[in-house]
Amino acid sequence: MHILHCDLDAFFASVEQRDHPELKGKPVVIGAPPNSRGVVSTCSYEARQYGIRSAMPSSQAYRLCPQAVFLPPDMKRYQEESRKVFNILAEYTPVIEALSIDEAFLDLSGSHSIWGSSMAIGHHIRHRVKSELGLNISVGISTNKFLAKLATNLCKPDGIMEFTDQMVVDLLPTLSVDNLWGIGSVSAQRLNHSGIYTVQDLLDAPEQLITSLLGSNTGFILGLAKGIDNRPVTPYEETKSIGNEITFPKNVSDSLAIEQVLLRLSEKVAYRLRRAQLKSHTITVKLRTPDFHTLSRSKTCPTAVNDSRSIFDVARMLYQQSGQEGKPLRLVGLTAGRLQGSEYEQLSLFANSGPDISSVIDRLNQKYTSGTIIPASLLDNHERNQ
């Protein structure tokens, strides 16, 4: 048992309740205000008792619990607290795979001779996070990532659990199928409609039926149903995409306004690419309609790009060809994928040998303030925001 899964309990809300004692014991919702079209980021366990969940529209959360305290996220503070937690984790092993700001896997294969058993290390971590940071962290322990995360889910909040080999035989088959990694609510409903409710039901069903319901993930999920997960704890995963999106306070149908948003997103994504010394081969535009239907359109560029003009040209073309031009939208997103390092750039026969204008703009914006130099078409909007 050398894999630990650590997950801070209701992290954002717990930080707020710790720093503001008057919020302890109260339903706290972190996210958009209830009179907006945004969603819940997370919430305290007191709020969850009313049925509030992450990604729920804030307006719905308010209807479920009008007395809840709604707070905007303070990401800078949460990130600082997260760094403190990960600093504690790093004292027990260098092999840490961060899943998010508040969740990680630890491989303790080389730690037992120094710190003792995995259970002892789990208790150490929980005690230190509580005593030093005033936060609760749940810990799952097992032989692989899936079982360790499952143990955490079963012992939350503020618990510690070891998922043993005997539990793979006795407990795992009795759990509902949505406990398996990769089976969300939609897949679970699909399985339930076919009479498959538990992990044992899944194992007993014909594999051809499971394949028709789960597709290419069937083999992996059936392995999990037997307690098998061969994925290693990976300390670092290369960035696969960089993107930004905007949710409008009111639906927007004006094509020029949408293109202006795409230009603004292109500027942001291009800047992040250059900061990471990356270029992108594939640009994707995400469009969400008022009925929450989401469309994605992508194009692969002949050469990798990280300048806003090239990204915007592709994004605008994808929007114009999406069939949504002139129709109301509630969200627009832009993502740069298939990334490569800038050092692998294939030089053009007609490349400009002078200084890169994007680099000049980046240096000016960094020296003074973000937005010192922006496209002229964004100027009016920028001035309004200022």
**pLDDT 10s digits, 182-237:** 888 888 999 999 999 999 999 999 999 999 998 888 999 999 999 999 999 988 76
String of DSSP letters for 307-318: SHHHHHHHHHHH
Domains 168-225 and 241-344+353-385 agree in fold: no
CATH fold for domain 1-95+112-141+150-161: MutS, DNA mismatch repair protein, domain I (3.40.1170)
* Residue-wise burial string across 287-313, b where 16 or more C-beta atoms lie within 10 A, e elsewhere: bbeeeeeeeebeeebeebbbbbebbbb
CATH 1.10.150.20 fits 168-225, yes or no: yes
157: closest CA among 283, 14, 57, 341? 14
CA distance 137 to 163: 17
Is the pTM higher than 0.85? The answer reads no
Q: Specify the pLDDT at position 238.
A: 65
Q: From CA 156, how far away is CA 118, in angstroms rounded?
A: 18
What angle (nearest 5°) sits at the alpha carbon of residue 223, between those of residues 220 and 228? Answer: 120
Catalytic residues: 103
d(CA 201, CA 263): 50
Domain segments of the chain as ranges: 1-95+112-141+150-161, 168-225, 241-344+353-385
**In this structure, which topology does domain 241-344+353-385 adopt according to CATH?**
Dna Ligase; domain 1 (3.30.1490)
Exposure letters 104-115 (e unless 16+ CB within 10 A, then b): bbbbbeebeeee
What is the tens place of the pLDDT at every residue in 102-152? 999 999 999 999 999 999 999 999 999 999 999 999 999 999 999 999 999
